[in-house]
Homo-oligomer: A and B are copies of this chain.
Amino acid sequence: MEVSARNSLKGTIKKIHPGAVNSEVTLEIVPGVEVTAIITKESVEHLQLQEGKQAIAVIKASDVIIATE
């Protein structure tokens, strides 16, 4: 399956923090570059996500804010 979201960042699952409805999943893209997602508990089970497994962070370009210091 290919998606229209412009950002697909491949990485390794470093941490899964479960909650009542949602869970936090942190991917390491490359050493020092991490992306954290909040997805439903059901999705974690459905995708059989586990620490150490490969996964992709998919992000729509319209959901990215640009900041400058």
CB contacts (< 8 Å) of A27 on chain B: these are 66
How big is chain A's contact interface, by range? 35 or more
Copies in the complex: 6
Interface centre among A5, A17, A56, A65, by most chain B C-beta atoms within 10 angstroms, is A65
Q: Specify the main secondary structure of chain A where it touches its partner.
A: strand
Partner pick for A20 among B6, B19, B43, B54, CB 8 A cutoff? B19
Q: Which of A28-43 contact B (CB under 8 A)?
A: 29-30, 32-40, 42-43
Q: Chain B residues with Cβ under 8 A from A1's Cβ?
A: 1-3, 56, 67-69
Residues of A within 8 A of B (CB): 1-9, 17-25, 27, 29-30, 32-40, 42-44, 46-49, 53-69
